[in-house]
């Protein structure tokens, strides 16, 4: 593979315009970039990042680049990749990027392998696929890795399990544990973007719909709040009694999935778990 894999280089100029637009909303990152340009604290550091390839990440990438980092990026989620941003990263900002919206599982892991071929000193991960692939398939790289960062709840859970088994071979900063991450990104960011995704994909009117939310954690609370604001009739399912009670106190109906499955119009899972609806729906059918 060459040192990038993207959908279409001709999208770069449109991507640049959207990256600039996003930058207006990122004043803190802009200040850090100004400091990094002068101080170059990351000079000589090779970084492999597995993140959502979006306008915001492109601004982060430019900032790390300005700090002297030798950075490559691969997508952490095939469905969130913005192809115009990937094109701008490669063609305008000269940051090797491996990301194509809708890429299949084989390409996804081929891209992760390509990012690991960069022989990183530092990893940046969102979901722990990069770090787990490194530990499983590229252990030869481990001696050079100083540490990493992990963005999301699920990735932190996976890495804590590896650490408990003595399997994690370098320190990782749990970005999700920062108050400024889960209080705001998980709750308000995911709350808004989930609604946005559903409405764009389906063009459905949310008012009056029975909107079933599985998991009343940070993301679940944010989505429930926003869905109610759109007029949806929100039902919550939870396996932990404490957040279940919190949902009741916040004014939502809390049901078991076997009950919610009978009445819901729209189902969203925000649990980090697999088959949250299917297993319970099968259970209901068996009953």
Ligand X SMILES: NC(=O)c1ccc[n+]([C@@H]2O[C@H](COP(=O)([O-])OP(=O)(O)OC[C@H]3O[C@@H](n4cnc5c(N)ncnc54)[C@H](O)[C@@H]3O)[C@@H](O)[C@H]2O)c1
The residues of the shown chain that bind ligand X, judged by CB under 6 A, are 152-154, 182, 185-186, 190, 214-220, 237-240, 243, 270-273, 276
Give least dist CB 53 to ligand X, A. 13
Over its C-alpha atoms, the chain yields an Rg (Å, rounded) of 20
Among residues 92 and 157, whose Cβ is nearest to ligand X? Answer: 157
Per-residue three-class SS string for the chain:
CCCCECCCHHHHHHHHHHHHHHHCCCHHHHHHHHHHHHHCCCCCCEEEEEECCCHHHHHHHHHHHHCCCEEEEEECCCCCCCHHHHHHHHHCCCCCEECCCCCCHHHHHHHHHHHHCCCCCEEEECCCHHHHHHHHHCHHHHHHCCEEEECCHHHHHHHHHHHHCCCCCCCEEEHHHCHHHHHHHHHHHHHHHHHHHHHHHHCCCCCCCEEEEECCCHHHHHHHHHHHHCCCEEEEECCCHHHHHHHHHCCCEECCHHHHHHHCCEEEECCCCCCCCHHHHHHHHHC
Give least dist CB 156 to ligand X, A. 8
Among residues 108 and 218, whose Cβ is nearest to ligand X? Answer: 218
Among residues 70 and 126, whose Cβ is nearest to ligand X? Answer: 126
Among residues 67 and 243, whose Cβ is nearest to ligand X? Answer: 243
Give least dist CB 9 to ligand X, A. 27
- Of all residues in this chain, which one has the CB nearest to ligand X in the complex? 217
Give least dist CB 244 to ligand X, A. 8
Kindly state the tokens that stand for 174.
Answer: 């749990």
Among residues 102 and 208, whose Cβ is nearest to ligand X? Answer: 102
Give least dist CB 153 to ligand X, A. 4
Among residues 122 and 223, whose Cβ is nearest to ligand X? Answer: 223
Give the count of beta carbons closer than 10 Å to the beta carbon of residue 97.
Answer: 32
Give least dist CB 161 to ligand X, A. 14
Do residues 112 and 130 make contact, with C-beta atoms less than 8 angstroms apart?
yes
Among residues 140 and 273, whose Cβ is nearest to ligand X? Answer: 273
Give least dist CB 91 to ligand X, A. 26
């Amino acid at each position: 593979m060459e040192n990038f894999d993207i959908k279409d280089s001709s999208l770069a100029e449109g991507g640049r315009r959207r990256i600039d637009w996003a930058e207006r909303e990122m004043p803190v990152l802009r200040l850090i970039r100004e400091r990094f340009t002068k101080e170059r604290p990351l000079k000589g550091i090779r970084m492999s990042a597995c993140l959502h390839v979006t306008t915001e990440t492109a601004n982060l990438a430019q900032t790390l680049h300005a700090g002297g980092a030798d950075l490559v990026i691969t997508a952490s989620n095939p469905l969130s990749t913005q192809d115009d941003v990937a094109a701008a990263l490669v063609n305008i900002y000269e940051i090797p990027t491996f990301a194509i919206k809708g890429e299949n599982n084989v390409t996804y892991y081929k891209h992760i392998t390509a990012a690991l071929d960069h022989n990183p000193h530092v990893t940046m991960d969102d979901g722990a696929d990069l770090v787990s692939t490194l530990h499983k398939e590229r252990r030869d790289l481990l001696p050079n890795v100083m540490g990493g960062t992990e963005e999301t709840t699920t990735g932190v859970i996976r890495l804590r399990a590896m650490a408990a088994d003595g399997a994690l071979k370098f320190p990782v900063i749990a970005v999700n544990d920062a108050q400024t991450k889960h209080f705001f990104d998980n709750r308000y960011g995911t709350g808004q973007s989930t609604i946005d995704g559903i409405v764009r994909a389906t063009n459905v009117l949310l008012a009056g719909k029975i909107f079933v939310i599985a998991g009343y954690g940070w993301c679940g609370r944010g989505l429930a709040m926003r869905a109610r604001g759109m007029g949806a009739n929100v039902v919550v399912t939870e396996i932990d009694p404490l957040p279940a009670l919190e949902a009741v106190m916040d004014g939502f109906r809390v049901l078991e999935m076997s009950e919610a499955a009978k009445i819901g119009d729209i189902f969203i899972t925000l649990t980090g778990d697999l088959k949250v609806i299917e297993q319970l729906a099968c259970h209901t059918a068996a009953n």
